[in-house]
Amino acid sequence: MSTPQIVDSHCHLDFPDFDDERADVIARAVEAGVSRMVTICTRLRLEPQVRAIAETYDPVFYAAGTHPMSAADEPLAKVDELVALTQHPKMVGIGESGLDYHYTAETADVQKQSLRVHVQAAQETGLPLIIHNRASDDDMAEILGSAHKAKPFKCVMHCFSSSAELARTALDHGFYLSMSGIAAFPKSQELRDIFAAAPVDRILVETDSPYLAPPPHRGRRNEPAYTAHTAKVGAEVFGLSYEDFAAQTTANFERLFDKVAGWAP
């Protein structure tokens, strides 16, 4: 029997955690059924290295942006700069961008400025915006909501672990929610309930590796192969077989990241 195919919609393969065995990590992912991975550039000056990984490994695609926790330390991204990067056939998303008031509340103003640049790039290119949100639900809802009303865009709330209210707001805009290893933690029942209330055709899965490894690997380095562990929990949340949940989230990914679906080596 063949292994069900799933997608790791968000990982960080350029991080030094993988430097010694990047090829092996990607091979293990493919063996586990992870047919595609989107590796995320969090500082635009590192985009060439992230792009090179996508160019080297057939299952890997990439997105680029300025992470909110780095927004004050990096030059402010420009819309035309982000738009130009999307000319690459394997550059498939804008971000991750967003707001993080848990660790970097003191840079809220520049984070908002950076987020609006990324939103505009998503509006202009039609590629999905990849959002990081932590402890900033009200500002996030206001910025994304007003921008979407002005000019609709596609979006995924990556590693979603926010409130049920923000989940409903995001879903009302047609956005997607991505399930990370956090959703598989034993104490995350409230988060699983939020996912369970969402339409299953709006759910993605991810690792955010090297962070947030799901059980049974919690506390150790995460890697794309472990998408399968989170997806098994996701299948239980939605009352589906693993095979059906894998197929559904893959279809969801291809609908949102349609540039991936249309790519041929």
What token pair was written down for 245? 């949940």
Q: Is 132 annotated as a binding residue?
A: yes
- Residue pair 47/18 in contact (Cβ under 8 Å)? The answer is no
* Local confidence band at 248 (pLDDT 50, 70, 90 cut-offs): very high
204 bridge partner residues = 178
Mean pLDDT of the 136-155 span: 98
- Residues listed for the chain: 265
Q: How far is CA 92 from the centre of its chain?
A: 11
Backbone angles phi, psi at 148, to 5 degrees: -65, -35
Backbone angles phi, psi at 10, to 5 degrees: -160, 110
What domains can be seen in the chain, in order of their start residue? 6-258 (3.20.20.140)
Q: How many CB atoms lie within 10 A of CB 9?
A: 33
Rounded CA gap, 50 and 169, in Å?
A: 32
- Residue pair 133/157 in contact (Cβ under 8 Å)? The answer is yes
Q: Is 96 annotated as a binding residue?
A: yes
Q: Is 229 annotated as a binding residue?
A: no
Whether the bond into 96 is cis, omega within 30 of 0: yes
* Local confidence band at 43 (pLDDT 50, 70, 90 cut-offs): very high
pLDDT of residue 234 exceeding 90, the answer is yes
pLDDT in the model for residue 262? 81
Q: What is the pLDDT of residues 202-229, one digit of tens each?
A: 999 999 999 999 999 999 999 999 999 9
Q: What is the pLDDT of residues 132-143, one digit of tens each?
A: 999 999 999 999
pLDDT of residue 265 exceeding 80, the answer is no
Q: Is 12 annotated as a binding residue?
A: yes
pLDDT of residue 1 exceeding 70, the answer is no
pLDDT in the model for residue 105? 97
Rounded CA gap, 63 and 253, in Å?
A: 14
Residue 56 half-sphere exposure, CB side, CA atoms within 13 Å? 13
Q: What is the pLDDT of residues 82-128, one digit of tens each?
A: 999 999 999 999 999 999 999 999 999 999 999 999 999 999 999 99
Mean pLDDT of the 51-55 span: 98
Average of per-residue pLDDT values in the chain: 97
Mean pLDDT of the 54-75 span: 98
pLDDT in the model for residue 184? 96
pLDDT in the model for residue 261? 83
Q: How many CB atoms lie within 10 A of CB 24?
A: 11
DSSP 3: P
